[in-house]
Chain A
Amino acid sequence: MAKVLMKGNEAIAEAAIRAGCTNYFAYPITPQSEVAEYLAKRLPEVDGVFLQGESEVAVGYMIFGAAGAGERVMTTSSSPGVSLMSEALSYIAAAQCPAVFVNIVRGGPGLGGILPSQGDYFQATKGGGHGDYHLLVLAPDGVQEAVEMTMQAFTLAEKYRNPVMILGDGMIGQMMEPVEFRDDLKSEPSNKDDWATNGMSTRGSKKRNLVKSLFLDPAELNNNNLVLKAKYDQMKREEVQFEIYNDDTDYQVLITSYGTMSRVCRTAIDMLKDEGIDVAMFRPKTLFPFPEKAVYDAAVKESCKSVISIEMSMGQMVEDVERCVKGQRPVEFYGECGGEIPSPEKIIEIVKGLI
């Protein structure tokens, strides 16, 4: 298919349709409302269900219900809305249901602002809701990758029976770039008959499926947590995705960055190269599972003197970078937030200070 020019939000919506998403529930919030607008029109065309909930709390449980019934389901929101959904996320993870959550992050905390931010890294990767659970978190750096990750997200959610989050930001949601909906990105059919409450007669089975998150027997609850833990360990083995830019050089500094911020860093690296200074960038595409070993390996290259995490936050991913580099190199941080995005010139100034 030929390339089309689309806004990130619309491209995510179209990708969901092509991945076979049949149910979408959401509550409007800037900067992602175009997803809902697009799907309100598009989902009925494919006999899907579009429903605007009365709040994000309700939407979270609509997702839980549809996912439990084996429907391919998605919601999209932005930071404050995702906070409201976090309780349901914990339930969905505990009950092992597949669902796709998209967070087009805006500045926080509180109502914050509506401009792009990366302040929800902790919320996305370390919880948000209660209990020992993780989301599988994918972080696109542009519209094309947002499409590919949305389509992957449904497959991954079903493979692990776990919620998957796309962590974008307002820039990715609002900007237009050429996108291609490649046929090879189609999602796999679901294994839902094994677990979903989609009706015994529907699946031709005598076995009852049960979706629940309440385990009053401590041994049973411990066991459920072990099952979840085994899935997160499997994600760490099988699902890590990352990219390293300009690593075939004797780089003195390794930048770690993701999403929109990584694109600015890439421009800064190109500009530094013109001055004869080599800097590399490590870009995780999966924030959970975090590319632990790969970032360590990139950091400890002999030429590399220091690592700096550059984020549109006050310092969140840097904690994972520090953890993975294990003290082998100094790990610095630079960030701006609230909608301010560090410029390539600013990054160059900061990086030069490390050399």
Chain B
Amino acid sequence: MQTEIKFAGFGGQGILLSAKLLAYAAMKQGAEVAWIPSYGPEMRGGTAYCTVVISDKYIGSPIIKNPTHLVAMNRPSLEKFAGDVKPGGIVFINSSLIPVRSEREDIMELVVPVNDIAIEAGSVRAANIVALAAFAAKSGLVDLDLLKKCIKEEFAAKAKIIPMNMTAFDAGVKAAQES
């Protein structure tokens, strides 16, 4: 069983970090994982995307055309990648920045106003954590307590921002449960 999640958004939205945290938690759960960035001559504010592969066996091809799920943090990402998601997958939509929907019937949309929730939690910079938490809660891919622990470890050197990110995390989980 292999699951692939594409994270996409603007550069600076913390896409790569969200993806890394998910991969890290899955690894801690004993899964095989790979984190594959799109790297290219991008500028600040340009598009950033990244794929996480979680598998119960050796991961072959790191090139994923059709991911199981998509986490879209901005409109260009949704428009570019929603069509690639495998039927039955989750398409996560950051409705704070995306006024449109995927227009697909064969996937499950998870619509969360990520930026608004993050601002309420203390900073818009925690938007990626809100999205990660909401997506993790909906997909059930990793244990939420373990994921929280991984976030705390990641921010260990910046302990000041941990409580705000934990608030953001819980709010993200709540939003997913209520959606």
**Which A residues lie at the B interface, using CB under 8 A?**
3, 5, 30-31, 114-115, 170-171, 174-178, 260, 263-264, 266-268, 270, 341, 343-344
Cβ–Cβ contact A264 & B33, under 8 A: no
Known: A31-B39, A178-B27, A178-B32. A5 touches B20 (CB 8 A): yes
B59 CB to nearest A CB, Å: 8
A5:B33 contact, CB within 8 angstroms:
yes
Which residue on chain A has the smallest CB distance to residue B16? A176
Cross-chain contact A260 with B62 (CB below 8 angstroms): yes
For the complex of A and B, list the 10 residue pairs with the smallest distance between their C-beta atoms, beginning with the closest: A267-B60, A176-B35, A267-B61, A264-B61, A266-B60, A175-B36, A263-B60, A178-B27, A174-B39, A5-B24
Could you show 14 A-B contacts with beta carbons less than 8 Å apart?
A: A5-B23, A5-B33, A174-B36, A175-B34, A175-B37, A176-B35, A176-B36, A177-B33, A178-B27, A263-B59, A263-B62, A264-B60, A264-B61, A267-B60
Query: CA–CA, A177 to B36, complex, Å?
Result: 9
A170 CA to B63 CA, complexed, in Å: 13
CA–CA, A240 and B59, complex, Å: 25
Which parts of B39-79 form the interface with A (CB within 8 Å)?
39-41, 58-63, 65
Verify B32–A263 contact, CB threshold 8 A. no
Q: Would B62 and A175 count as touching, CB distance under 8 A? A: yes
Partner of B40, one of A3, A5, A115, A178: A115
**Chain A residue with the shortest CB-CB distance to B31:** A178
Complex Cα–Cα for A260 and B59 (A): 11
Measured between beta carbons, the chain B residues less than 8 angstroms from A3 are 27
Taking residues whose C-beta sits less than 8 angstroms from the other chain, chain B's interface range is 20 to 34
* Contact between chains at B65 and A176 (CB < 8 Å): no
A114 CB to closest chain B CB, in angstroms? 7
In the bound complex, do residue A177 and residue B35 qualify as a contact, i.e. CB atoms below 8 Å apart?
Answer: yes
Q: A114-B40, A175-B35, A264-B60 are in contact. List 15 more A-B contacts (CB 8 A).
A: A5-B33, A31-B39, A114-B39, A114-B41, A170-B39, A175-B36, A175-B37, A175-B62, A176-B35, A177-B35, A260-B62, A263-B60, A263-B61, A263-B62, A344-B60
Could you say which residues of chain B place their CB within 8 Å of the CB of A343? 61, 63, 65
Contact of B35 among A5, A267, A268 (CB under 8 A): A5
Contact of A344 with B61 in the complex, beta carbons under 8 Å: yes
Residues from chain A with a CB closer than 8 A to the CB of B24 are 5
A228 vs chain B, min Cβ distance (A): 37
Identify which of A5, A31, A341 contacts B63 (C-beta below 8 A).
A341
A260 cross-chain contacts in B, Cβ below 8 A: 62
- Name A2's closest neighbour in chain B (CB-CB): B28
- Tell me the bound Cα distance from A245 to B15 in angstroms: 35
The interface residues of chain A lying within 8 Å CB-to-CB of B40 are: 114-115
Partner among B34, B39, B58 whose Cβ is within 8 Å of the Cβ of A176: B34
How far is A5 from B37 in the complex, measured between Cα atoms in Å? 14
CA distance A17 to B41 in the complex (A): 30
Chain B residues closer than 8 Å to A174, beta-carbon distance: 36-37, 39
Among the listed B36, B60, B62, B65, which residue makes an inter-chain contact with A270, where contact means beta carbons less than 8 Å apart?
A: B60
| Interchain CB contact (< 8 A) of B27 among A5, A114, A263, A341 | A5
B66 to chain A, nearest CB (A): 10
Q: How far is the CB of B42 from chain A (nearest CB, A)?
A: 11
Chain B 127-153 against A: per-residue CB contact (8 Å), 1 yes, 0 no? 000000000000000000000000000
Name which of B36, B58, B62 has the most chain A CB atoms within 10 A of its CB: B62
Closest-CB distance, B80 to chain A (whole angstroms): 18
CA distance A344 to B59 in the complex (A): 13
